[in-house]
Amino acid sequence: MPWTATGRYDLEPAPGGLAFVQDLLNTISAGKPREPDLLEDVEVARTWLAQAFANWNEETGQPAPVVEITADDLQELRDFRHDLHRHLQLAGTDMSPKSHPVRTPTAAQTALRLGADGRIRAEARGKGWRQVASLAMIEAYQAQCADSLRRLKSCRNTRCTVIFFDRSRNSSGVWHDVRVCGNVANLRNHRARKRATAGTA
């Protein structure tokens, strides 16, 4: 099944459960023409979350949590999304967190469970948006331990900022699509250099 938020930007999903984190981040309003924010309306958010949980279950084989999202959850979930997005932006640059302060995302409640197969798994806890944030944090942490979280990046085009999974060999990708955002940025930089040269002539 397609990941609703990520698929509308024609992006390939991140591997495994990390795709849930990517899809949450890509619920933002972005693109040209701009896609709507999937966390602005409670019914739209519920529809997105149901599909995202179904995909997560298919990717991980774990039972999807049952979460009831209310209108009161939406702003908190958008704030969490913003904080996580900002941290990814900082992680992909040499910017200092002190010079670009971000709020520390809410600590997520989790439980560790020993399964019948002998494996220990982290389970999301909390209610509403907190449970969604908990699952996202678990997947992000596991990806960090596997050294794959660093490949989840925000497009460097400030007019875009969608989240893509960088599959380049040396993890050097900066655009979600070189043709869409890279060429536009390069053309903009070329024109700026041309103007600067003409101004000094």
Report the distance separating Cα 17 and Cα 107, nearest Å. 19
> How does residue 148 score in pLDDT terms, banded at 50, 70 and 90?
very high
CB 14 within 8 A of CB 22: yes
Place 21 in a pLDDT band, splitting at 50, 70 and 90.
very high
Mean of per-residue pLDDT scores for the chain: 85
Q: How far apart are the first and last CA of the chain?
A: 57
β 152-154/110-114 pair status: unpaired
Long-range pairs of 190-195 with CB within 8 A, sequence gap ≥ 24: none
Span 37-66, pLDDT tens digits: 999 999 999 999 999 999 999 999 999 989
Main-chain dihedrals φ then ψ at residue 163, nearest 5 degrees? -100, 125
Average pLDDT of 102-110?
Answer: 69
The amino acid that residue 100 corresponds to is H
**Cα–Cα distance, 104 to 19 (Å, whole number):** 22
For 67-81, how does the pLDDT look when each residue is reduced to its tens digit (9 = 90+)? 999 999 999 999 999
